[in-house]
Amino acid sequence: MHELWNEEQYRTCLTAHRSEGFKHECNAVSSPTQSEARGRKAWLGRRWLDAKSEGRSRKTLSSSQPISRAPDSYIVHRGQGNTFRSSQVKLLLTGIQGSGKSTILKQLRFAYAASLVTSREREEARDLLVDSAMSAAETLRTAGLLLPHELGTAHRTPAWGSADPMNHDNIQYCLENRSRLFLEEHPATNDDFLHAYVKTTGVSETYLESHRLSYRVFDVSGARVERRKWQYPAEDVQCLIFVVSLAEYDVHLGDDSGIRESLAVFESMLNHARWFKSSTIVLLLNKIDVLREKIKEIPVRKFWPEFNGSEDSCDAATNFFAAKFCSLQRPDDYRDKHVYCSDATNIETSKIVLQSIEALLVARVQCSL
């Protein structure tokens, strides 16, 4: 399947990670090419500029609005029927800021309650993408790569296609699909919804149901100042999904890289938090598609000197970071733990990974009956 390591392999890593000969083949999910650009009107771009000049704040997706700490004020998305069986699984989706966990939640909504994703949410997502595209264009213009009169012409295409003006994962998608995004008559797509980035604040609660299980999913903000809010949704969790962005091996958050920050948080949750003593632990190594392209330009060894794998091997890099996380496990820890690779913006491959995780949870529920 698409599991990187199962429980036995996870435990074997405790000793294997300490030897120089550590090797394991990664069943990474390959990502397809980006969808082709098609066609949207310039009025959206003008509207973005007008909103910017008037000082109005950006639109946010309705599923990520700020909320209070009280459980009864959490955002709740309910699937059709809302009739839940006794086999309900409480699932906590977490990770540091920028890991892609909220995109994983969107994938869960596609997989188990596609009707929950409204056309309004898709349109709001497209507006955010237009915002990002215009910001990227402004950055290019400021850097001298784009002349003001070229913003509305086809002459900008080579510069847009080759530049990386902003450090956001959705910028490439915005630039590759800029023609379609600016055409009003082209409806927003599920891919638009997935690629629109909104910083998560507070906690959101989502109810979903498959033909085998029902889910109560909590998505919590990964920002450091927000982690104190994790306590309530963490109580009695059957499954913890911890999302890590592999693309952040060279990104620094304060004194640490993004992955080093994730290592510290994961260790704390794995070994010190009382809430996860009986939880199934799923480590989701996300953005493998970004890692695959990034290591071609930025060597892993430059930021992780102990890495001794092939510099252009995505499998070697993925297994290296997986081993880092697995080594945090205590020898007396017998909880179920599983490691998967994912590309959160790829609907088909994410569905396969989510189905694999559901199979684990179904087995857990059956064992408890």
For residue 136, give both structure tokens.
Answer: 């990227």
- 200 a known binding residue? yes
- 198 a known binding residue? yes
- 168 a known binding residue? no
* Alpha-carbon distances, residue 18 vs 33, 154, 340 (angstroms): 37, 55, 21
- 192 a known binding residue? no
The answer to whether 121 touches 62, Cβ cutoff 8 Å, is yes
- 338 a known binding residue? no
221: which residues sit within 8 A by CB, 6+ positions away? 97, 199, 200, 201, 202, 203, 227, 229
What span, in angstroms and rounded, lies between the C-alpha atoms of 150 and 157? 10
- 159 a known binding residue? no
Calculate the CA dihedral of residues 143, 166, 186, 352 and round it to 10 degrees.
160
- 75 a known binding residue? no
Residue type, 326: C
- 319 a known binding residue? no
- 287 a known binding residue? yes
DSSP, res 96: S
Round to the nearest angstrom and report the end-to-end CA distance of the chain: 26
- 194 a known binding residue? yes
Residues making up the binding site for Mg(2+): 200
Residues making up the binding site: 194-200, 286-289, 344
Residues making up the binding site for GTP: 194-200, 286-289, 344
